[in-house]
Amino acid sequence: MVFKSNGSQADDAAAAAARESVQHAAAAPAASHIGVPMSPLSEVLWRGKGFMKPSNEGHNNTYGEVLGAAAMLTWKDLCVTVVGGGQTILQSISGYAEPGSIMAIMGPSGSGKSTLLDVLAGRLSKNTVHSGEILLNGHRKNTLCYGTAAYVTQSDDLIATLTVHEYLHFSANLRLPSSISRAEKKVIVDTTMHEMGLHECANIHVGNWHLRGLSGGEKRRLSIALEILTRPRLLFLDEPTSGLDSASAFFVVSTLRNLARDGRTIMASVHQPSSEVFELFDDLTLLSGGRCMYFGKATDAPQHFAAAGFPCPALKNPSDHYLRAMNADFDLLKSTLHGSSTYTDLESSMDPLDRMTTKEVVGILAEVYQKSDYATAAMSRIQQAAETEGMVLKSIGSHASFFTQCWILTQRSFMNMNRDIGYYWLRSIIYILLSLCLGSVYWRVGFKYSSILGRAGCIAFIAGFLTFMSIGSFSSFVEDMKVFSRERMNGHYGVAVFVISNTLSSLPYIFLMALISGSIVYVMVQLHHGIEHYIYFILCLFAELACADSLMMAVATICPTFLVGILVGSCIQGIYMLVGGFFRLPKDLPRAVWHYPVSYLGFHMYGLQGMFKNDFLGLTFGSFILNGKAITPVIPGSYVVENMYGIQTSRGKWADLGVLFGMILVYRLLFFICIKLNEDLQPRVRAYLMRYRTAKKINNK
């Protein structure tokens, strides 16, 4: 079935297709992904990108007919170590994940569950390197392309000002193909909300410090809903049931299981699931201390533990038994209790886990597994997958066009900036208060000789310190980057789309701030009269504020934390203010470094000089009065600009304004480059470190 609706039947047809997709996935068999019919939504998404062969009329497509849709992931001898410290997080881990099944990765805290997901998804932290072999459909993959896999991390990095329905609506329009009508997208969004149990909170904001919003569990379900919206081929989830009650966890994992039955490959780390949730998983990986205790079918794990001498008691949750056997965090407590009545009761217990240390239990489990048929079968399947090369899975990313993505993301960003009072509104209030203070201090500054310093000081404050206040929105910039990082890694949209939409959505607010605060100052201080001078003043202030925001966005890209970003941004803007031409005249700056090139790189110099030319040129100021006598003639504004402040008038004020607008584009381009460099250089640096450490180990041997 393909989405084809027309006229008044659009909603009914789309609803039927979406419901059929859900019911179809739930009813699909679990034995194998080959021969399982595809859901209607999957057919639309994959046929639209050319990944499916055309089917004969009247026959359902199967996964055997899908070109590159299924993802077979294998990993062999994976090791992950911390750079510099030598700490090993994963030790020789091997396994595979097949389409049509859902795998649980379990283990105590610190066992390497999240690290295993990170290395398979190509998202290791910067201070770690890995070795080993990762194959996707038989092709070696050190890192996965953006959009090849979806990853739901432990942290729910979401836009706080959007409601659940709005979030899913924007995500659907960003990623679903244009061949799907608006009504059909609405049905897909509504169906996904129902699958995750979010229909009751559809109109509730995600929430932040000034907006009461979703609970932790609801945010977790929203994060999952955003990724399953387009039915990704390969899905990683890091503790998807954290923060959920047992009933919510059961229905969430049930939805993921149904999604897997639709031919997806799903891996999830879970932390002590209930027995009902545990029964939903097909495959199981058990880790302890970075070592593999078991890999295979979840239903075969009890036989493995029984063979190792640690059978699971009847009527006990198997996951509780496995985690208790592998958790070494309380061995010290057990040794401390040695000899007490509590420990005597443990020693007299018939449970072998009570009479051995966890280190001994883990050693036995690991040794038994390495010699078991489960390990042999896993290595045989890995070898078979390595010898069978399928289609190279490349990122298909969003199905929407570039311009559609730009338009939708601009709308979403504009809405977020409008609702988040900490983004621009609170900053606007501060600007208004500062403008009122500035206007009252320089009230009707006039044209006396002392007015020269007054006008210069007022303009310098506006060009320097008002733009410096852009660091006030840095926390919002950081939150934007977190959301972008998650969505970019999952292939929602590209870097260019993000930079363009962020620019277009922010400029109206920046212009509004410049217009309001600039008008207050201009009227109260009574700067150079004339509509041309007023328009130039507003445009120059707007350009400076836009430059400052663009600079802080670039800083947010390269700085790992909020505090570091504030320090770096403040330092850069402080240097630009220092060499701008007010605190030290341009001709008096040391020519090396400070005059060339630093003063020309900063936007403060162009803004200050442009405003000086706009205000002083054409005015005449009174004589310098000493002991009641005028000792100088009246002073023309050109003399003030050229001789008192050392500004060359050969470059007109409109040229300075043109440079400022050019610097907005330059800083936005720098923003784009910083993101791309961070994406491209980071994997290369890790690969170099991995080769270096491997060579060092070989030389030491």
Gap between the Cα atoms of 23 and 17, Å rounded: 10
Confidence band (pLDDT; 50, 70, 90) for 110?
Answer: confident
Give the pLDDT confidence score for residue 338 in this predicted structure: 56
More confident residue, 261 or 162: 162
Q: Which residues contact 694 (CB under 8 A, 6 or more apart)?
A: 131
Confidence band (pLDDT; 50, 70, 90) for 128?
Answer: confident
Q: Contact at 8 Å (CB) between 660 and 547? A: yes
Give the pLDDT confidence score for residue 475 in this predicted structure: 85
Give the pLDDT confidence score for residue 662 in this predicted structure: 96
pLDDT tops 60 at residue 62:
no
Q: In the chain, what percentage of residues exceed pLDDT 70?
A: 81
- Angle between helix axes 426-441 and 495-525 (nearest 10 degrees) is 30
Q: Contact at 8 Å (CB) between 649 and 641? A: yes
Gap between the Cα atoms of 234 and 263, Å rounded: 9
Give the pLDDT confidence score for residue 333 in this predicted structure: 62
More confident residue, 534 or 142: 534
Confidence band (pLDDT; 50, 70, 90) for 2?
Answer: very low
Give the pLDDT confidence score for residue 229 in this predicted structure: 87
Mean pLDDT, residues 132-138 taken together: 86
Give the pLDDT confidence score for residue 142 in this predicted structure: 54
Confidence band (pLDDT; 50, 70, 90) for 394?
Answer: low
Partners of 101 in beta bridges = 265
Partners of 291 in beta bridges = 288
pLDDT tops 80 at residue 49:
no
Give the pLDDT confidence score for residue 664 in this predicted structure: 95
Burial status of residue 693 (CB atoms within 10 A of its CB: 0-12, 13-18, 19 or more): middle
Mean pLDDT, residues 30-48 taken together: 47
Q: What is the pLDDT of residues 418-472, one digit of tens each?
A: 999 888 999 999 999 999 999 999 999 999 999 999 999 999 999 888 888 888 8
**Beta strand extents in 611-701 (DSSP E only):** 620-621, 625-626, 629-630, 635-636
Mean pLDDT estimate for the chain: 83
Mean pLDDT, residues 540-554 taken together: 94
Give the pLDDT confidence score for residue 1 in this predicted structure: 32
Q: Contact at 8 Å (CB) between 262 and 20? A: no
Confidence band (pLDDT; 50, 70, 90) for 326?
Answer: confident
More confident residue, 520 or 329: 520
Mean pLDDT, residues 305-318 taken together: 89
DSSP 583: S
pLDDT tops 90 at residue 681:
no
Q: In the chain, what percentage of residues exceed pLDDT 90?
A: 49
Mean pLDDT, residues 641-648 taken together: 92
Gap between the Cα atoms of 465 and 583, Å rounded: 13
What's the per-residue H, E or C state across 485-548? HHHHHCCCCCHHHHHHHHHHHHHHHHHHHHHHHHHHHHHHHCCCCCHHHHHHHHHHHHHHHHHH
Task: Output the CA–CA distances (angstroms, integers) from residue 558 to 200, 436, 670, 684, in the order listed.
Answer: 39, 35, 11, 17
Q: What is the pLDDT of residues 587-639, one digit of tens each?
A: 889 988 898 899 998 999 999 999 999 999 999 999 888 877 888 889 999 99
Q: What is the pLDDT of residues 77-90, one digit of tens each?
A: 999 988 766 688 99
pLDDT tops 90 at residue 392:
no
Task: Output the CA–CA distances (angstroms, integers) from residue 482 to 556, 557, 646, in the order listed.
Answer: 10, 10, 44
Determine which of 42-51, 407-416, 426-435, 636-645 has the lowest per-residue pLDDT on average.
42-51
Give the pLDDT confidence score for residue 63 in this predicted structure: 36
Burial 633-642 (b: 16+ CB within 10 A, else e): eebebbebbb
Gap between the Cα atoms of 272 and 327, Å rounded: 12
Domain 102-108+148-378 belongs to what topology?
Answer: Rossmann fold (3.40.50)
Could you give the 3-state DSSP secondary structure of residue 134? Answer: strand
DSSP 62: B
Give the pLDDT confidence score for residue 626 in this predicted structure: 82
Place of tokens 């009641």: 628
Give the rounded distance of the alpha carbon of 411 from its chain centre.
Answer: 19
Q: Contact at 8 Å (CB) between 289 and 107? A: no
Among 4-13, 39-48, 240-249, name the most confident range: 240-249
Give the pLDDT confidence score for residue 391 in this predicted structure: 61
Query: What is the H or E stretch that residue 326 is in?
Result: helix 318-326
Strands 128-136 and 592-593: unpaired
Give the pLDDT confidence score for residue 85 in this predicted structure: 63
Could you give the 3-state DSSP secondary structure of residue 140? Answer: strand
pLDDT tops 90 at residue 138:
no
Q: What is the pLDDT of residues 186-219, one digit of tens each?
A: 988 998 998 888 999 999 999 988 888 898 889 9
Give the pLDDT confidence score for residue 691 in this predicted structure: 62
Give the pLDDT confidence score for residue 69 in this predicted structure: 58
CB atoms within 10 A of CB 631: 9
Q: What is the pLDDT of residues 213-260, one digit of tens each?
A: 898 889 999 999 999 888 888 899 999 988 888 888 999 999 899 888
Q: What is the pLDDT of residues 486-524, one digit of tens each?
A: 898 888 898 999 999 999 999 999 999 999 999 999 999
How many residues are listed for the chain in this entry?
A: 701
Confidence band (pLDDT; 50, 70, 90) for 652?
Answer: very high
pLDDT tops 90 at residue 44:
no
Could you give the 3-state DSSP secondary structure of residue 198? Answer: coil
Burial status of residue 364 (CB atoms within 10 A of its CB: 0-12, 13-18, 19 or more): middle
CATH 3.40.50.300 residue ranges in the chain?
A: 102-108+148-378
pLDDT tops 70 at residue 686:
no
Prediction pTM value: 0.82
